Amino acid sequence: MFVFENGVEKPFEIMFNGDNDTVIGIDKDSMDAPLDIPSLKDRIWVRWRNPDELKPLTDADVAAYKKSIGR
């Protein structure tokens, strides 16, 4: 699904408030069974993504991440 605002695509992901206050993204490709949307109606929401999140990582980004985790 795509959402547009003023002709510009707005990336988003559907989130789910799980047990123990965990928040997970819902990805239809990783689900084994159909979602029971009516029972989830108070637990799902949309997170608008910053377009910068979708840019590919640079070598510098990867190196900084590896350094931050001690690799």
- Domains in the chain, number: 1
The domain of 21 spans: 4-68
Using one digit for the tens of pLDDT, what is the confidence trace for 13-52?
877 777 666 676 666 666 666 767 777 777 788 888 888 8
Q: pTM value? A: 0.46
Residue 62's pLDDT is 93
Question: Distance between CA 40 and CA 35 in Å, rounded?
Answer: 8
